[in-house]
Structure 1
Amino acid sequence: MAMAHALVPLLVVSVVVAAAVATADQERESDRIRELPGQPPNVEFSQYSGYVTVNPARGRALFYWLVEAVPAAGPIAPLVLWLNGGPGCSSVGYGASEEVGPFRIRPDGQTLYLNPNSWNKAANLLFLESPAGVGFSYSNSSLDLYTAGDAKTALDAYAFLVNWLERFPQYKYREFYIAGESYAGHYVPQLAQLIYEKNKGIQNPTINLKGFMVGNAVTDDYHDYLGTFEYWWTHGLISDKTYHNLKATCLLESSQHPSPDCVKNLNLASAEEGNIDPYSLNTKPCNYTASLKVSLGGRYPWLSRAYDPCTERYASIYYNRPEVQMALHANTTGIHYPWQTCSDIVGTYWADSPRSMLPIYQELIAAGMKIWVFR
C-alpha cells in the first residue's frame, strides 16, 4: 500500500506534464501560417505567428512571427530574435518585410516575392513587435502605451521569450542570438544583459544566448549625435549655423534627454533638409517620407529606412488587409487603430532611455559574449 501511495504523486505529475505538452502543441499548431495572401509558390519553410501574453493583469500581449530556417540550414540551425527600434517601429514592417525576412511586398500591396538574401537561409527568424502598442502588439490598459521605456521593453521581451519557449520547446537550449537595428541598439544589449543576469548559476539555460548583432545602432548619445550632425553638415543638408547650434545644445549633459533646445534645433534641421531622404540622397523621396519624419518629431533622427522610400506604404497596405491579418492570426481583439510601421504614440512618450549602452558592452564582452556591430 505504501508503494501504491508513493506512485500517486508521480501519476499526477505525469498527467500535468502531458496536459501542458498537449496545450503547447495545440497553441503552436493554431499559430501555424497555412499560406499568406499573395505568397509566392514553392515556399519550403514553415511559418508561425500569433500572440504571447507578457502581463496577464494588464492584458499586455506581444505579436510574433516565426520564420523557420530552410531545410538546407540543417536541423539545429540557431534561433535569432529580430527587434526594430524607433522607438515605436514594427519588426514585421521593417525587419521582416524590408530587411532580413523571407518576403518583400510589391508596390501594389497585394503580392509578395522572395528575398534572395533572407537570413532564414542560415537561421530560424523570430520577429517581435515590441513594446505593446507597436504594430499588432497591444495592451488592455491604454496607459501602457504612454509609459513605455527601455526597462519595461526589456522585461516584456524576456517574459515573451520564456513563455514562447514553452509553446516552442524544440528551441529550448538552441543557440540563440539577438539582432536588430536603429533604436534596437538599446533593446538588443539591454535584453542580452537581462538574459545574461538571469542565466547566472544555471548549468544549461533554456535561453542559450551566445551573442548579439546590431546595425546602424543607437549606442551612445554623444557619438551618435555628433556623427549624425557631421553627416548632415558635410552633405549640405543643414546650414553652418544649425550645425553649430546642434553641437552646442545636443552634446551637453542635461537633466532632460534630449533638452528642449536640442529638440528645437533637431526640428530646425529637419525643416532645412526639406523633402530629402538623408538615408538615400541620390534617389527621389516618397511623398509619404516627409509625414513620417514629422510624426517622429526628430527625437531619433537616425531612424533607419530602406532605400526604396515607399516601402512603408506597401507594408501599410498589406498588413491592414483583413485577409492578411486573418492569415497571421493578428488583430484578434479588434484593435481600434490601424496597423502602422511606426506608432504615433509609443516613442513620443518614452519613459527612460540611458545615454549610453557602452557600459553594457563592456560587461558582456568581459563575460565572453559574441558581439557584432555593423553598418
Structure 2
Amino acid sequence: MASSTAVRHPLFTILIALSLLPAIAEQDDEQEGDRVGFLPGQPSRPAVSQFSGYVTVNENNGRALFYWFFEAQTLPAQKPLLLWLNGGPGCSSLGYGAASELGPLLVNGNGTGLEFNKFAWNKEANLLFLESPVGVGFSYTNTTSDLDNIDDRFVAKDTYTFLVNWFSRFPQYKSHDFYISGESYAGHYVPQLAEVVDDHNKNLEANQQINLKGFIVGNAETNDYYDYTGIVEFAWSHSVISDKFYERVKNVCDFRLSPTTNECSHVMNLLFKIYHEIDIYNVYAPRCNIDGSAFSSSFNSSVEKEAKNKSKRLRMYSGYDPCYSNYIEAYLNRMDVQKSLHANISGWIKDRRWSLCSDPIFDNYDMEVFSVLPIYSKLVKAGIRIWVYSGDVDGRVPFIGSRYWVEALGLPIKSQWQPWYLENQVAGRYVEYEGLTMATVRGAGHTVPQDKPAEALVLINSFLSDWKLPTKDI
C-alpha cells in the first residue's frame, strides 16, 4: 500500500525557496528603506537603531498611518514588542510618548535637537509608536470623508490593520511577545485594540496570530461615570473648588447620563475654567505662561471645549520647562527632520503645520463608547495580563475615578493595597486583583513617564517581566 505522505524531491524544495527570494528581498528593501540613519541634532552616542515611515491601512481610500520604531537597546531579538498609543483623541504618540516621555530620543529644552533618555522604555522592549487615527500628526488619508467617520471602532480596526501590515514589513518581530500600552484617551484605544487582536487570533492559524500577552494603561479614561466623578472629587479634595461648588456639581450632575444635561455642562465648564490658572494635568506643577499652539491631549467631551481652547500642555516635572510643547512642534516642523523621518514625503501637509493635537479629529470624533469595562471583564477571563497605573496628582483622569472603576470590576483581591519602592523611597501604592494590577505613582501627573521617568521604567519592567513591584519590610 502506498504511503499517504508525499515525499518531495530536494530540487522541488530548492525551487520553492528560490521563488520566495524576490519577495524576501523586496521585504528587506522596504524595511531598510524605513531605517533612520541620524536625526538632526541627535547625540552621536549612544547609537540608536530606529525606523520610521508609513504603513497603508486602506489602499482604496489612500489611508496610511505613520510610525516610529526603536529596537531594544540590548538583545532586541529576545525582547518583547511594545506598542505605545497616546490619546486625545487626536494627539500624537510621536510628540508625546516618543519625543517627551518614554522614547530614547527626547526633544531638548529649546527645540534645536535631541537628548538621550536614560530611562527610555526600549531598555526593556522593542518600542513602537503610532500616530493614530488618520489626521493625527503625519498620518493621513486621501479620502476626506474618512475624517467624518472616526470613532473607537474605526481606530481599533485601522490599528489592527496597521499591525498586520507592519509585521509583514518586520517579520522578525511576529513571534515576539506583544504588549499594548498608552495613556489618557488611549484608555479606550488600548483595551479595544486588545479585544480586536484577541478576537482575530481565535480565527487564525497559529503562525498568523499576533502574540498578544497583555496591556498596560496610564491615567486611562475608561468609564465616563467613574472618571467624571473622580474629576469632581479630586478637584474638591485638592482645594481647587469650594465646598459650595462641590455640592452644586453633585446636585446637578448625573454622570450616568450621556449626553449630560445643559446645567451639568455649564457647571463642568466652570470647573474647568477654574483650572485655567493652574495645570490640571499636575496640580502641583508650574503653569506655562507663554502662548503656544499645542493643546491638551486629554480634553475629550463637548462640555470641555471652551476650556480646551485656552489650555496649554505643560512640561510636568520639576526642573523642566513647562512650555516644552512649543519646542516639540518647532523640531518636528523642520523640513530636515521630516526628511530624516521619511515623513510628509509627498508634501501633503504643506498647507498646515504638524501639531501635537488635531482639533479637527477632536471636534469630529464620535465618542459613542461610554465604558470599556465589559472589555476588561472579557480579557481578564481570556488570561490577558492587565495593569493600570495612575500618577496621583493628575486632575484630568484622577486616580480616584480609576480606583472606582477597578473596584467595579468585582475581581477577587490577591494582595492588599501596599507601598512599592524605589531607592528606599515610597514610589507609589499598588493592589493586585485576580487578573489585574493597579498601581499609583507618587508625585506624578497625567504623563507618568515624563514626570517620574525612573519610577515609570521600574513599572514597565515589572509589567513586562510579570513581577511584583518592589517592596520592602518597614
Task: Give TM-score, length-normalised by structure 1.
Answer: 0.90
Distance 1:28 1:74, change over 3 A: closer
Match of 2:232 in 1: 229
Contact 1:83–1:179 (CA<8 Å) still a contact in 2? yes
Once the two structures are TM-superposed, the CA of residue 320 in structure 1 deviates from its matched residue by 0.4
Distance 1:103 1:248, change over 3 A: farther
Quote the sequence identity (%).
47
Q: Which amino acid aligns with 1:316?
A: E
Once structures 1 and 2 are overlaid, which stretch shifts more, 263-272 or 213-222? 263-272
Once structures 1 and 2 are overlaid, which stretch shifts more, 51-60 or 236-245? 236-245
Does 2:338 correspond to 1:325? yes
Query: Match for 1:34 among 26, 32, 37?
Result: 37
Query: Match for 1:163 among 157, 160, 165?
Result: 165
Q: Which amino acid aligns with 1:46?
A: S
Q: Which amino acid aligns with 2:96?
A: Y
Match of 2:254 in 1: 251
CA RMSD in angstroms comes to 2.8
Match of 1:340 in 2: 355
Once structures 1 and 2 are overlaid, which stretch shifts more, 164-173 or 245-254? 245-254
Distance 1:259 1:169, change over 3 A: farther
Once the two structures are TM-superposed, the CA of residue 289 in structure 1 deviates from its matched residue by 7.1
Distance 2:116 2:246 in 1: 42
Give the length in aligned residue pairs: 368
Match of 2:112 in 1: 110
Contact 1:289–1:309 (CA<8 Å) still a contact in 2? no
Contact 1:173–1:208 (CA<8 Å) still a contact in 2? yes
Q: Which amino acid aligns with 1:130?
A: S
Mapping of 1:200-279 within 5 angstroms?
200-201=202-203, 202-248=205-251, 250-256=253-259, 258=260, 260-279=262-281
Q: Which amino acid aligns with 2:33?
A: S
Contact 1:226–1:251 (CA<8 Å) still a contact in 2? no
Distance 1:27 1:208 in 2: 23
Once structures 1 and 2 are overlaid, which stretch shifts more, 347-356 or 292-301? 292-301
Question: 1:35-74 CA distances to partner (integer Å, 9 max, x unpaired)?
Answer: 0110011233310000001011111110000011012x45
Match of 1:361 in 2: 376
Distance 1:8 1:343, change over 3 A: farther
Distance 2:367 2:19 in 1: 41
Once the two structures are TM-superposed, the CA of residue 97 in structure 1 deviates from its matched residue by 1.3
Distance 1:175 1:316, change over 3 A: same
Query: Match for 2:197 among 187, 195, 198?
Result: 195
Distance 1:9 1:146 in 2: 52
Match of 1:374 in 2: 389
Once the two structures are TM-superposed, the CA of residue 371 in structure 1 deviates from its matched residue by 0.6
Distance 2:79 2:237 in 1: 43
Match of 1:3 in 2: none
Contact 2:86–2:183 (CA<8 Å) still a contact in 1? yes
Contact 1:62–1:137 (CA<8 Å) still a contact in 2? yes
Once the two structures are TM-superposed, the CA of residue 196 in structure 1 deviates from its matched residue by 0.2
Report the 3-state secondary structure (helix = DSSP H, G, I; strand = E; otherwise coil) of the residue aligned with 1:359.
helix
Once the two structures are TM-superposed, the CA of residue 267 in structure 1 deviates from its matched residue by 2.2
Distance 1:315 1:56, change over 3 A: same
Distance 2:266 2:230 in 1: 19
Higher RCO, 1 vs 2 (CA within 8 Å, ≥6 residues apart): 1
Distance 1:21 1:181 in 2: 36
Query: Match for 2:140 among 127, 138, 141?
Result: 138
Distance 1:214 1:322 in 2: 33
Question: 1:337-366 CA distances to partner (integer Å, 9 max, x unpaired)?
Answer: 111111111121112431111111111111
Contact 1:151–1:352 (CA<8 Å) still a contact in 2? no
Q: Which amino acid aligns with 1:95?
A: G
Contact 1:150–1:187 (CA<8 Å) still a contact in 2? yes
Q: Which amino acid aligns with 2:141?
A: S
Distance 1:328 1:126 in 2: 14
Question: 1:2-35 CA distances to partner (integer Å, 9 max, x unpaired)?
Answer: xxxx999989965663332222111111110010
Distance 1:263 1:172, change over 3 A: same
Contact 1:90–1:135 (CA<8 Å) still a contact in 2? yes
Report the 3-state secondary structure (helix = DSSP H, G, I; strand = E; otherwise coil) of the residue aligned with 1:163.
helix
Query: Match for 1:123 among 122, 125, 150?
Result: 125
Distance 1:242 1:137, change over 3 A: farther
Distance 1:333 1:262 in 2: 46
Once the two structures are TM-superposed, the CA of residue 120 in structure 1 deviates from its matched residue by 0.4
Unaligned ranges ≥5, structure 1: 1-5
Query: Match for 1:68 among 26, 51, 71?
Result: 71
Report the 3-state secondary structure (helix = DSSP H, G, I; strand = E; otherwise coil) of the residue aligned with 2:361.
coil
Distance 1:294 1:26, change over 3 A: closer
Distance 1:83 1:203 in 2: 26
Question: 1:87-119 CA distances to partner (integer Å, 9 max, x unpaired)?
Answer: 111000111012111122112211111111100
Report the 3-state secondary structure (helix = DSSP H, G, I; strand = E; otherwise coil) of the residue aligned with 2:159.
helix
Distance 1:168 1:294 in 2: 30
Once structures 1 and 2 are overlaid, which stretch shifts more, 212-221 or 243-252? 243-252
Match of 2:410 in 1: none
Query: Match for 1:312 among 320, 325, 342?
Result: 325
Does 2:102 correspond to 1:100? yes
Q: Which amino acid aligns with 1:45?
A: V
Once the two structures are TM-superposed, the CA of residue 313 in structure 1 deviates from its matched residue by 1.1
Distance 1:266 1:166, change over 3 A: same
Distance 1:344 1:206, change over 3 A: same
Question: 1:265-320 CA distances to partner (integer Å, 9 max, x unpaired)?
Answer: 33222222232112233332113479735995626989986405312111111100
Match of 1:154 in 2: 156
Distance 2:297 2:252 in 1: 20
Distance 2:195 2:294 in 1: 35
Query: Match for 1:51 among 33, 43, 54?
Result: 54
Mapping of 1:266-305 within 5 angstroms?
266-287=268-289, 288=291, 292=295, 296=299, 298=304
Once the two structures are TM-superposed, the CA of residue 245 in structure 1 deviates from its matched residue by 4.4
Distance 1:352 1:329 in 2: 32
Distance 2:85 2:298 in 1: 21
